[in-house]
Amino acid sequence: MRTAVFIFFLFVLFNNFSSASEGKLIYAKGVVQVLDKKKNKKMFQRIKKGATFNAGDIIRTKKGALAILELAGGSKLKLNSASAVTIKKAKKNDEEVRLNRGSVFINVFKSKLNKKTKPRFRLKTKTVSMGVRGTSFFASFGEKAKKKKQRRDLWMCVNTGLVEVTSNKSKQKVSVKAGEGIKVEKGNKISEPKPLEWTKKLNWNMEESKGDLVNKASIESAYTDVLDEDYD
């Protein structure tokens, strides 16, 4: 009896350990770090390809670095230079990531769920939530904030599929289709979805074997305010 209980205990423990891993780092270039919340770590630790992470962990890349994360649910994230995400949930059919700063490409594991089903992947920032249905998209957050309390802009564009964007403040909802992008300026109104020229140059590749992974298209071009350009 005692043996059965002990084995049962080990089984539960093993399952807890194995199911606690929310994902894995499958590619790393440069310095990629994790802040392990489960172990109550207070400092970021450098991690390498193959390292696992858990719910609550914060993964960040230093300047010039690149990381590709695979979540337990099957979706992939390509974290660009100087970016950070918090893994909230990464289980099958229930994935949630928070983009703290920088930019990330997201390739959601294709679901067989129909359109009426609640989105299975959510990307959140301080100001908006994005619900995704089997798609790949790009989001960039927080490039221009200079003052501490200043709200930051969010840029998002969709490669395939459909993304529903909801403003946390106004609850405004916008659906963004493939080939379109939106801007949420300082956490306020979500712009009308439209093709953004610079997004054609984004590098969506997430597989090392298929070529270069580094995205060279600068978000700066999206920030150029042409109405402010004075040349005469």
Partner 1 sequence: MTKFFLLFLFTFPVIADHHVPDNIEAGTNAAATIRVHHKKNKVLYHFDYEQTDKINNRVDKRYTLGVRYRFMKNFKAGLYYSLRYGQRHDEDWISGPNPPHWIWIDTSKRSENFVGLELIPRFLVHFLPGTWVGETRVKIERNFFNDNNTVKLKPGLTYFWMGDSGPFMNLFAQAELYIPLNYGEETIYEKWFYLGALYHYSKIFKPGIFFSVYEKVWTQTEAFKTLKNDTYKNTEKGNLVGITLNFRIP
Chain contacts with partner 1 (rule: CB under 8 A): 197-198, 201, 216-218, 220-221, 223-224, 226-232
Residue whose CB is less far from partner 1, 96 or 143: 143
100 vs 159, beta carbon nearer partner 1: 159
Provide the minimum distance between the beta carbon of 229 and partner 1 in the complex, in angstroms, as a whole number.
7
Q: Is 94 exposed, middle or buried (0-12, 13-18, 19+ CB in 10 A)?
A: middle
- Cβ proximity to partner 1, 44 vs 223, nearer residue: 223
Q: Which is nearer to partner 1, 21 or 218 (CB)?
A: 218
Task: Provide the minimum distance between the beta carbon of 220 and partner 1 in the complex, in angstroms, as a whole number.
Answer: 5
What pairing do the DSSP bridges indicate for beta strands 94-107 and 121-124?
Answer: parallel
**What are the Cα distances from residue 152, in Å, to 77, 98, 140, 168?**
21, 15, 10, 14
Q: How far is the CB of 80 from partner 1 (least distance, A)?
A: 14
- If the CB atoms of residues 117 and 221 are measured against partner 1, the closer one turns out to be 221
Q: Measured from the CB of residue 138, what is the shortest distance to partner 1 in angstroms?
A: 15
In the complex, minimum distance from the CB of residue 115 to partner 1, in angstroms, rounded to a whole number? 30
